[in-house]
């Protein structure tokens, strides 16, 4: 069973395990693989961020954070960042977190959700976001230095809420 709730400080160890593993891959996020726990916790729990964990059978299987995509006159658009533990791949954690985040962003008053940096070669993520209603509204050439592929494109993805 999947449960989603706000993250607490007590979750930081499990969250860091997930983030650290994802960044080690060097294939989905721009944060350097050598990013430290302190750096990433400061980012993931930054002021103004709404941070959550997804539990699968009571174990932390994924985490995501919602925040303003821009300050002030752009703050009606949410940004989201999502990571799933490789140990829980294929169990629908990403889809559950994505769906939850859209409802939650609407509840928080956001009018849209935007991702600025979806790595094009991360086809599973692109398809997941499309299945949840996101459209590709931009493509930036060579924006991501993929560990295996070298410089690869990224998408800007978006949907109204």
Positions touching a copy of itself (CB under 8 A) are 26, 29-33, 35, 69-77, 111-112, 114, 116-117, 137-147, 151, 154, 156, 158, 160
Angle at 148 between CA 64 and CA 131, to 5 degrees: 40
Q: Which is nearer to a copy of itself, 17 or 27 (CB)?
A: 27
Q: Which is nearer to a copy of itself, 23 or 96 (CB)?
A: 23
Give the tokens for residue 37: 């726990």
User: Cα–Cα distances in Å, from 63 out to 24, 50, 76?
Assistant: 16, 11, 22
Q: Which is nearer to a copy of itself, 127 or 147 (CB)?
A: 147
Q: What's the rounded Cα separation, in Å, for the pair 64 and 62?
A: 7
CB of 3 to a copy of itself, least distance (A): 31
7 and 51 Cβ atoms separated by less than 8 Å: yes
Q: Which is nearer to a copy of itself, 52 or 158 (CB)?
A: 158
CB of 129 to a copy of itself, least distance (A): 15
CB of 97 to a copy of itself, least distance (A): 22
CB of 95 to a copy of itself, least distance (A): 24
């Amino acid at each position: 069973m999947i449960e989603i709730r706000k993250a607490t400080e007590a979750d930081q160890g499990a969250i860091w395990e997930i983030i650290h593993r994802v960044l080690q891959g060097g294939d989905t996020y721009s944060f350097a693989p050598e990013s430290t726990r302190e750096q990433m916790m400061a980012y993931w729990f930054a002021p103004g961020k709404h941070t959550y964990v997804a539990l699968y059978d009571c174990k932390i299987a994924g985490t995501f954070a919602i925040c303003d995509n821009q300050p002030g006159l752009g703050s009606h658009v949410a940004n989201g960042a999502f990571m799933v533990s490789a140990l829980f791949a294929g169990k629908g954690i990403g889809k559950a977190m994505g769906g939850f985040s859209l409802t939650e962003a609407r509840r928080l008053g956001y009018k849209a959700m935007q991702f600025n940096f979806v790595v094009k070669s991360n086809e599973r993520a692109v398809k997941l976001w499309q299945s949840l209603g996101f459209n590709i509204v931009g493509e930036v050439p060579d924006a991501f230095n993929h560990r295996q592929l070298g410089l690869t494109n990224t998408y800007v993805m978006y949907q109204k809420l």
